[in-house]
Amino acid sequence: MNTLAERYQDVQARVKAAAQRRGTDPAGIVTVAVSKTVEPQIIKTAVECGLTDFGENRVQELLRKQAVVAVPRWHLIGRLQTNKVKDVLGRVHLIHSLDRWELAEYIEKRAVSSGVQAHCLLEVNVSGESAKAGVSVAEASRFLSCIYQLPHIKIKGLMTVAPEEDNPERNRPVFKELKNLFDDIDRLNLPGVAMDFLSMGMTQDFGIAIEEGSNMIRVGRALFGPR
Ligand SMILES: *Cc1c(COP(=O)(O)O)cnc(C)c1O
């Protein structure tokens, strides 16, 4: 059984190799360690290994861990219910899962009353799988061209969850399409919108995502082992 330190080294080596294949600096790629189901003691070890960014997909679990372990940055990566917005605002560096206008309106309302800015990624359902959260590729620019109406929300980029595939190569077109959208939106220079982060790629396919332009990968099992 490898240690967490060894698995992290292996992930870093794969990030570096993929970045080199793309001809980009690996230092510009953020690894978000997805710590859902991982106990706080292990998260502490991960911080000691040098990991800085941690992603949780449930608000309750995030709050429970925040109370007992200090990490540089927390990310919310899972579906956010409107009644949980108040619990999470001001407590995370980035919400990856802004996936509907109604949620944006709730976040705005709560951000106003808490006096904070909410940094979010727009989640895009590139593959069109019906069970998946996110706006469609076709809707994304219109959604973002209206976001100035909610001035306490700052959009920092795009996120997608690609389909589970036996052959991760099959997700390459998904990543390509989101990168194209990312570049298109960047060129629009929309108020309240900065295309800083492209959050795509997980354990199964982060190398391919990086080859296609991801600069933020969300990695759970490759670091912490099977769940
Ligand atoms: C669980 C999860 C991940 C990480 O998945 P792994 O396969 O463990 O790397 C990434 N993104 C989201 C949204 C997740 O829920």
CB-based pocket (< 6 A), ligand 1: 34, 36, 57, 77-78, 161, 202-204, 218-222
Ligand 1 closest atom vs CA 97 = 13
From 59, 54, 105, 58, select the one nearest 75 (Cα to Cα).
Answer: 54
Identify the residue whose C-alpha is closest to ligand 1 atom 7: 203
DSSP calls for 90-130: TT-SEEEEE--HHHHHHHHHHHHHHT--EEEEEEB-SS--T
Ligand 1 closest atom vs CA 36 = 1
Taking 70 as the threshold, does the pLDDT of residue 1 lie above it?
no
Ligand 1 closest atom vs CA 206 = 9
pLDDT in tens, 19-51: 999 999 999 999 999 999 999 999 999 999 999
Mean pLDDT of the chain: 97
Query: Residue 107's pLDDT is what?
Result: 98
From 224, 204, 226, 206, select the one nearest 30 (Cα to Cα).
Answer: 206
- pTM for the full model? 0.97
* 42 C-alpha to ligand 1 centroid (Å): 17
* 160 C-alpha to ligand 1 centroid (Å): 11
What is the C-alpha to C-alpha distance for residues 193 and 151, in angstroms, rounded to an integer?
10
Query: Residue 2's pLDDT is what?
Result: 81
Which residues are within 8 A (CB) of 146 and not within 5 positions of it... i.e. 6 or more apart? 101
